[in-house]
A and B are shown apart, each in its own frame.
Chain A
Amino acid sequence: MAAPRSFQEIILRLMTYWASKGCAVLQPYDMEVGAGTFHPATTLRSLGNRPWAAAYVQPSRRPTDGRYGENPNRLQHYYQYQVLIKPSPPDLQALYLGSLEAIGIDLNLHDIRFVEDDWESPTLGAWGLGWEVWCDGMEVSQFTYFQQVGGHDCHPVSGELTYGLERLAMYVLGIDHVMDMPFNDPDSPIPLKYGDVFRQTEEEYSRHNFDAATTEMLLRHFEDAEAECEKILSFPADDPNTGKRIVMAHPAYDQCIKASHLFNLLDARGVISVTERQAYIGRVRALAKKCADAFVQTEAGGYVAEAQA
């Protein structure tokens, strides 16, 4: 297969590949998140017993990683490619290696390694076992078998793949600085580099995240999100308007995502002490657990009404 020529081509090839393997190709979640795992298509859908297969790009924000667009491979906003399949198929490693070939990595020339890396998300109350995948010593993906999410044991187990798209693409395209990476085809009438799209925003957000974001407001919003999440979940399951059972797991989970991102911003502003940090993480985790508890009470979460059961 010919080598890809641009960042977007790599994304498109991954889309095509995982679509051909039967995944539903979803779109990014429309909220600020720290990683693709936060997308409800992963966090919530890894719960319960219903089969699931999804792939999507998720723009991710890590305010503390901002470097004003100067660092060759550190960004406060970047893309993750995420695949979640439940139950994890027995040939998931082979499927994964196929995706590397699809984006132009010749497995006969490169050294691919599965190196132990246990994944844990203290804010999601989640953990799993797996590896970071190395290509010639470079970490190109996370490969995880989810064991627990939101405090619930995963049954069946989901297999999760996360590709750090910029890093992977830079490697495949042979680029040393992320801002120099062709975003679209370099032969396009208007060729655009990653820097043309994102250098300015990296500067703006770095300054904002480190110096400008109003911490008192962020703190207030954190508490609002926390309160709202709990409030949404406090509604009874039966909706008086429709007479249906409607557990509002997703709207509540949105508030949990919000709280998590607000915490990240506060962290970047340097206003959270080491001791407080643990307390904040604990508060977000408490929300994630409640949302998980709610989701397993929904149909998508495997809930079966007693009358039907």
Chain B
Amino acid sequence: MPELLIELFSEEIPARMQGAARDNLKKLVTDGLVEAGLTYASAQAFSTPRRLVLVLDGLSSESPTLREERKGPSVSAPEKALEGFLRSTGLTLDQLEKRADKKGEVWFAVMEKPGRQAPEIIAEVLEKVIRSFPWPKAMRWGAGSLRWVRPLHSILCLLSDEAGSTVVPLTVDGIVAGNTTAGHRFMAPAPFAVTGFEDYAAKLKAAKVVLDSAERAEMIWHDASQMAFAQGLELVEDKGLLNEVAGLVEFPVALMGAIAEDFLHLPPEVLQTSMKEHQKFFSVKNPKTGRIEGFVTVANRETADHGETILKGNLKVLSARLSDARFFWEHDLRLVKSEGLEGMGAGLVNVTFHNKLGSQKARIDRIEALAREIAPRVGAQPDLAAEAARVVKSDLRSAMVGEFPELQGLMGSYYAREAGLPDAVANACKGHYSPLGPSDEVPSEPVTVAVALADKIDTLTGFWAIDEKPTGSKDPFALRRAALGVIRLVLANGLRLPALETLREGASRHPEPAKGSIAWGANEIIEQKEPAWFVARDVLEFLHDRLKVFLKDEGIRHDVIDAVLAMPGSDDLTLVVKRAEALSAFLKTEDGGNLIQGFKRANNILTQAEAKDGVEYSYGADVKFAEAEEEKTLFAALDAAEAALAPAMAAEDFATAMAEMAKLRAPIDAFFTAVQINAENAIVRRNRLNLLSRIRQICLSVADLTKLEG
């Protein structure tokens, strides 16, 4: 079975695009070939900065012949019918066959689509793939019209088997496919011909090109960590950087250098970020001091001087970069010393946060006020929370964050310490952005929590007030993330935060929402509520939606959450989750499942009776009208349950409450088996309906079980 080798050789492909390009090439070519009737045994794709490569093994040499038969009109049918059939099949009358059918003779069209040779199919598929390749950004070059990520120079397209290899005839925008490629740009630039993948891989290796990016990454990691280890140091792991660097070189050569003494006092994060962002250096740590003391750079070649010139050049650039970083650091420290951290942020008054939500300073003022209100609810000192809120964004005006935005928060912590601010404030600078994602660590220090909540709630209520809510996949202000942040902060810290009131406080500092952007009290008594309340209610609903997604990931069914959210106190997220967890566990027990059935039966009978009689049966069941033993037992069981449930519910011990409720299962089942609710005697009937109502009340006191499915 033949092997197909494709190489698309171009100018340097951006490192970040190579992985997806490999996958796309493999998928698009194999899909195209399979669709055209070819089969293959295995496929592998590779990339270097200058080439995308695909090799297919066990490719069939032609597509099968396809035969299609179509039944036409009867031979005796009118001419029109026959004409139509000829038109639809594209055949002439003499090409049709007459065949006997149950109803007489009928015209048959037998169409044969002959199989095609692999080269023809490959050429067609590959050209289409090249012309429509899904690069994130593509370009034209020269006077041509082809689009590729960077100018495409050559196409190697070779079919080979035991008998030898042949070039697949193909021309794309003037580029004629062949069997040649070139080696490393500097170390082995001469073109060479290949006969198949094995030959290609071997010759590339000799021409100083490591084809497989995973192998390049492995080489880099291995060499770099060995070098560090040899000096008693350790390489700081960075998978993203490793992949990127592996996409920047065809022949990786790791070189290690030391950071000059004058820069070692800079915060390690600053050293690391500067080296990574500007120069794609790995950081090397001294495990004894914990400091970043060295770096590894990866060159794309070997040199006669073993990289000495290259390392020297890199050191020079590093020194210029770190001089900048040191300049920023010293500048910022001076500013903090003279103006304080709050003074550093003075310019935020001129920075627009959002044109409808005012400046960053206006935002900070809102967050400060809100943090002060939240503080006592999360165990933080209000003054301290307010102090933290005033300075947590100040570092946005620092020279360092201006250069490295990813250091926001962290620099604030450093500067807060330099300014002599309390630890709680310094920690809030770094921590108040957290949690940033579903797996990010959740802060627990009360001051940080207060500011983090205030920050997120201000954002949520603000964008809701100006009607910039997330829609579908669009969430430009990361409001889903902010909502998840609120949820995780509350839950992880077991906070009993009255969310609706807190959201209302947040919303009250924003412009009033425009009519129509918020459901202005469709079923509510509008005059009693201020606009902020409606914003708060809508944001709470959004929080509930995100909570459902969050709990679903924890294995809690959505109807369980609905049953819990229908209860009062649903803006207390900690309570909601406690209740939902207990209910979810309860439903998994046998008693639990059966009790729900009993409840539903009671509820149905009751609802029907109430509808029919036009009254509500909610009070007055009396044991003296009980006739059957099972009825009396149920009375006793309900008395016992009510007595046990009350303290458990008061203590929010939902597990105990539900266990108590579970004890009702047997008496309820027995009652339904033995007793007819709709008794002849009206008094007995009413008494029984009122008894059912007690079941309903008890059951509904833990959650709205009517929302449960099944």
What is A's interface to B at a CB cutoff of 8 Å?
72-73, 87-90, 93, 107-116, 118, 128-131, 135-138, 145, 147, 154-157, 159, 171, 176, 273-275
User: Are B313 and A131 in contact, CB atoms less than 8 angstroms apart?
Assistant: no
User: Are A157 and B299 in contact, CB atoms less than 8 angstroms apart?
Assistant: no
20 further A-B contacts with Cβ under 8 Å, apart from A108-B186, A147-B139, are: A87-B142, A107-B186, A109-B310, A111-B300, A111-B303, A111-B313, A115-B248, A128-B139, A130-B150, A136-B317, A137-B317, A138-B316, A138-B317, A145-B150, A145-B151, A154-B140, A156-B143, A273-B350, A273-B352, A275-B355
User: Are A111 and B299 in contact, CB atoms less than 8 angstroms apart?
Assistant: yes
Chain A residues with CB below 8 A from B12, complex form: 114-116, 131
A240 nearest CB across to chain B (Å): 38
Minimal Cβ-Cβ distance residue in B for A114: B12
Chain A residues with CB below 8 A from B323, complex form: 72
Q: B140's contact among A107, A111, A157, by CB below 8 Å, is which?
A: A157
User: Are A114 and B301 in contact, CB atoms less than 8 angstroms apart?
Assistant: no
Instruction: Let me know if B305 is at the binding interface, CB within 8 A.
Output: yes
26 A-B pairs within 8 Å (CB atoms) are namely A72-B323, A88-B141, A107-B186, A111-B299, A112-B186, A112-B300, A113-B300, A116-B14, A116-B16, A129-B137, A129-B149, A129-B150, A136-B309, A136-B311, A136-B312, A137-B297, A137-B314, A145-B141, A147-B139, A155-B140, A156-B142, A156-B143, A157-B139, A157-B140, A273-B352, A274-B352
Cα of A115 to Cα of B247 in the assembled complex, Å: 10
Chain B residues with CB below 8 A from A274, complex form: 350-352
User: Are B142 and A110 in contact, CB atoms less than 8 angstroms apart?
Assistant: no
Chain B residues with CB below 8 A from A137, complex form: 279, 281, 297, 313-314, 317-318
Residue picked from B12, B142, B248, B355, most chain A C-beta under 10 Å? B142
User: Are B318 and A109 in contact, CB atoms less than 8 angstroms apart?
Assistant: no
User: Are A111 and B301 in contact, CB atoms less than 8 angstroms apart?
Assistant: yes
B646 nearest CB across to chain A (Å): 59
Q: B303's contact among A109, A131, A154, by CB below 8 Å, is which?
A: A109
B188 nearest CB across to chain A (Å): 12
Cα of A108 to Cα of B184 in the assembled complex, Å: 12
Chain B residues with CB below 8 A from A108, complex form: 186, 303-304
A51 nearest CB across to chain B (Å): 9
B403 nearest CB across to chain A (Å): 13
Chain B residues with CB below 8 A from A72, complex form: 320, 323
Cα of A214 to Cα of B587 in the assembled complex, Å: 76
Instruction: Let me know if B652 is at the binding interface, CB within 8 A.
Output: no
A235 nearest CB across to chain B (Å): 33
Tell whether A275 pairs with B352 under 8 Å between CB atoms, given A110-B309, A156-B143: yes
Cα of A102 to Cα of B317 in the assembled complex, Å: 22
User: Are B142 and A116 in contact, CB atoms less than 8 angstroms apart?
Assistant: no
Instruction: Let me know if B15 is at the binding interface, CB within 8 A.
Output: yes
User: Are B142 and A171 in contact, CB atoms less than 8 angstroms apart?
Assistant: no
Chain A residues with CB below 8 A from B141, complex form: 87-88, 145, 157, 159
What sequence of 0s and 1s flags, for each residue 279-300 of chain B, a beta carbon within 8 Å of any chain A beta carbon? Answer: 1010000000000000001011
User: Are A136 and B248 in contact, CB atoms less than 8 angstroms apart?
Assistant: no
User: Are A113 and B248 in contact, CB atoms less than 8 angstroms apart?
Assistant: yes
B254 nearest CB across to chain A (Å): 12
Chain A residues with CB below 8 A from B149, complex form: 129
User: Are B314 and A145 in contact, CB atoms less than 8 angstroms apart?
Assistant: no
User: Are A88 and B313 in contact, CB atoms less than 8 angstroms apart?
Assistant: no
Instruction: Let me know if B131 is at the binding interface, CB within 8 A.
Output: no
Chain A residues with CB below 8 A from B304, complex form: 108-109
What sequence of 0s and 1s flags, for each residue 133-158 of chain B, a beta carbon within 8 Å of any chain A beta carbon? Answer: 00001011111100001110100000
Q: Which 3 pairs across A and B sit closest by C-beta, in order of nearness?
A: A136-B313, A116-B14, A114-B12
User: Are B320 and A73 in contact, CB atoms less than 8 angstroms apart?
Assistant: yes
Cα of A128 to Cα of B350 in the assembled complex, Å: 33
B315 nearest CB across to chain A (Å): 9
Chain B residues with CB below 8 A from A128, complex form: 139
A189 nearest CB across to chain B (Å): 31
Minimal Cβ-Cβ distance residue in A for B278: A137
User: Are B313 and A135 in contact, CB atoms less than 8 angstroms apart?
Assistant: yes
What is B's interface to A at a CB cutoff of 8 Å?
11-12, 14-16, 49, 137, 139-144, 149-151, 153, 186, 248-249, 279, 281, 297, 299-301, 303-305, 309-314, 316-318, 320, 323, 350-352, 355
Minimal Cβ-Cβ distance residue in A for B139: A129
User: Are A89 and B142 in contact, CB atoms less than 8 angstroms apart?
Assistant: yes
Interface of B is mostly: loop
Minimal Cβ-Cβ distance residue in B for A106: B309
Cα of A250 to Cα of B301 in the assembled complex, Å: 47
A123 nearest CB across to chain B (Å): 21
Cα of A286 to Cα of B49 in the assembled complex, Å: 37
Cα of A162 to Cα of B303 in the assembled complex, Å: 27
B10 nearest CB across to chain A (Å): 11
Chain A residues with CB below 8 A from B49, complex form: 114
Cα of A72 to Cα of B318 in the assembled complex, Å: 14
Chain B residues with CB below 8 A from A131, complex form: 12
User: Are B313 and A110 in contact, CB atoms less than 8 angstroms apart?
Assistant: yes
B574 nearest CB across to chain A (Å): 40
B171 nearest CB across to chain A (Å): 16
Chain B residues with CB below 8 A from A115, complex form: 12, 248
Minimal Cβ-Cβ distance residue in A for B147: A147
Q: B305's contact among A109, A129, A171, by CB below 8 Å, is which?
A: A109
Cα of A146 to Cα of B19 in the assembled complex, Å: 26
Chain B residues with CB below 8 A from A90, complex form: 142, 151, 153
Cα of A232 to Cα of B233 in the assembled complex, Å: 67
Chain B residues with CB below 8 A from A112, complex form: 186, 300
Chain B residues with CB below 8 A from A154, complex form: 140
Cα of A114 to Cα of B250 in the assembled complex, Å: 12
Chain B residues with CB below 8 A from A114, complex form: 11-12, 49
B131 nearest CB across to chain A (Å): 17
A205 nearest CB across to chain B (Å): 20
Q: B310's contact among A73, A111, A156, by CB below 8 Å, is which?
A: A111
B269 nearest CB across to chain A (Å): 21
Chain A residues with CB below 8 A from B143, complex form: 87, 155-157
Chain B residues with CB below 8 A from A273, complex form: 350, 352
Cα of A130 to Cα of B352 in the assembled complex, Å: 33
Chain A residues with CB below 8 A from B320, complex form: 72-73
Chain A residues with CB below 8 A from B311, complex form: 136
Minimal Cβ-Cβ distance residue in B for A273: B350
User: Are A118 and B137 in contact, CB atoms less than 8 angstroms apart?
Assistant: yes
Residue picked from B137, B305, B355, most chain A C-beta under 10 Å? B137
Cα of A115 to Cα of B280 in the assembled complex, Å: 11
A284 nearest CB across to chain B (Å): 20
Residue picked from A88, A116, A147, A154, most chain B C-beta under 10 Å? A116
Chain A residues with CB below 8 A from B248, complex form: 113, 115
Minimal Cβ-Cβ distance residue in A for B189: A94
B524 nearest CB across to chain A (Å): 37
Tell whether A116 pairs with B15 under 8 Å between CB atoms, given A137-B314, A137-B317: yes
Cα of A305 to Cα of B299 in the assembled complex, Å: 54
A62 nearest CB across to chain B (Å): 16
User: Are A88 and B303 in contact, CB atoms less than 8 angstroms apart?
Assistant: no
Minimal Cβ-Cβ distance residue in B for A139: B317
Minimal Cβ-Cβ distance residue in A for B135: A129
Cα of A172 to Cα of B139 in the assembled complex, Å: 32
Chain A residues with CB below 8 A from B309, complex form: 109-110, 136
Minimal Cβ-Cβ distance residue in A for B301: A111
Minimal Cβ-Cβ distance residue in B for A136: B313
B662 nearest CB across to chain A (Å): 62
Cα of A64 to Cα of B69 in the assembled complex, Å: 77
Cα of A176 to Cα of B315 in the assembled complex, Å: 12
Tell whether A138 pairs with B313 under 8 Å between CB atoms, given A73-B320, A90-B151, A275-B352: yes
User: Are B310 and A110 in contact, CB atoms less than 8 angstroms apart?
Assistant: yes
Residue picked from A115, A135, A137, A176, most chain B C-beta under 10 Å? A137
Residue picked from B15, B143, B351, most chain A C-beta under 10 Å? B143
Chain A residues with CB below 8 A from B305, complex form: 109
Minimal Cβ-Cβ distance residue in B for A133: B12
B187 nearest CB across to chain A (Å): 9
A28 nearest CB across to chain B (Å): 27
Chain B residues with CB below 8 A from A155, complex form: 140, 143
